[in-house]
Amino acid sequence: MYKILVTEDDHTIASEIKNLLSGWGYEVKLTERFSDILGEFNEFEPHLVLMDIGLPVANGFVRCAQIRSVSKVPVIFLSSASDNINLITAINMGADDFVSKPFDINVLLAKITAVLRRTYDFSEQKSDEIIYKGLTFKASDSSVTINGNKIELTKNENRIMETLLKEQGKIVSRNNLMQKLWDDDCFVDENTLSVNINRLRKKLEENGIADFISTKKGQGYIIE
């Protein structure tokens, strides 16, 4: 049984989410100590966190960073503020997805299912290395090594890199990448893919590899 920590200070919304997810067989805990969210996270050891942005004491971005300092457990942000700034900040803070309030229950369930599946059930593994143009990619530990420097990748960056490297010299469409990342692209904001691509490019450029991922306008992305 998957365990989900719901960090939402609106008790009505939190209770609604708990009732819904419990009915689908998840073990759900509502955060009670908003001054010690990391402590509750460590005690409960969830498989996934639903995190509101507007929280008492410190906002969800701060709390996500605290969780990311000790765990790679997936985090989905909940927020009524769905503008691009919040989306980009959420992804940069290590979020795996973003759901805008008011949300459709079916969309929330689909996103949770997709994130859990790709995190815990993905089995195309990942024991091999891909070496290409001075870069060593290792999917099994979500890393890229360049000139001896090991760069940690998020789960989404890891999946993007793996997909593009396995299709070297071929254009991979945005829809194909979104399906690899989220299983069903109809529940995905396209900005999320762009944010992940740009952040991955920045990591590579900061370590001396520029223009590794090329954009083919109107077609997708390619590693030449």
Q: For residue range 113-157, what is the model confidence (pLDDT) as tens digits?
A: 888 888 876 544 444 678 887 788 988 888 999 888 899 998 889
Q: What percentage of residues in the chain have a pLDDT greater than 90?
A: 40
Q: Are 115 and 128 in contact (CB under 8 A)?
A: no
What pLDDT, on a 0 to 100 scale, did the predictor assign at position 124?
Answer: 44
What's the CA gap between 222 and 23, in Å, rounded? 43
Strand order in the sheet with 3-7: 27-30, 3-7, 48-52, 75-79, 97-100
Is it the case that residue 86 has pLDDT exceeding 80? no
Is 49 or 83 the better-scoring residue by pLDDT?
Answer: 49
Is it the case that residue 79 has pLDDT exceeding 50? yes
Q: Are 158 and 169 in contact (CB under 8 A)?
A: no
pLDDT per position as a tens digit, 9-57: 999 999 999 998 998 889 999 999 999 999 999 999 999 999 998 899 9
**Which residue type sits at 178?**
M
Is it the case that residue 192 has pLDDT exceeding 70? yes
Q: What is the mean pLDDT of the chain?
A: 86
What pLDDT, on a 0 to 100 scale, did the predictor assign at position 123?
Answer: 43
What pLDDT, on a 0 to 100 scale, did the predictor assign at position 81?
Answer: 63
Question: Lowest mean pLDDT: which of 76-85, 87-96, 135-144, 180-189?
Answer: 180-189
Task: Please give, one letter per residue, the 3-state secondary structure of 152-218.
Answer: ECCHHHHHHHHHHHHCCCCCECHHHHHHHHHCCHHHCCHHHHHHHHHHHHHHHHHCCCCCCCEEECC
Residues 6+ apart with CB under 8 A from 129: 136, 137, 138
Is it the case that residue 186 has pLDDT exceeding 70? no
Q: Which residue, among 10, 72, 76, 66, has the nearest Cα to 39 in the 3D structure?
A: 66
E strand or H helix at 92: helix 84-92
What pLDDT, on a 0 to 100 scale, did the predictor assign at position 15?
Answer: 94
pTM of the model: 0.60
What's the CA gap between 82 and 70, in Å, rounded? 27
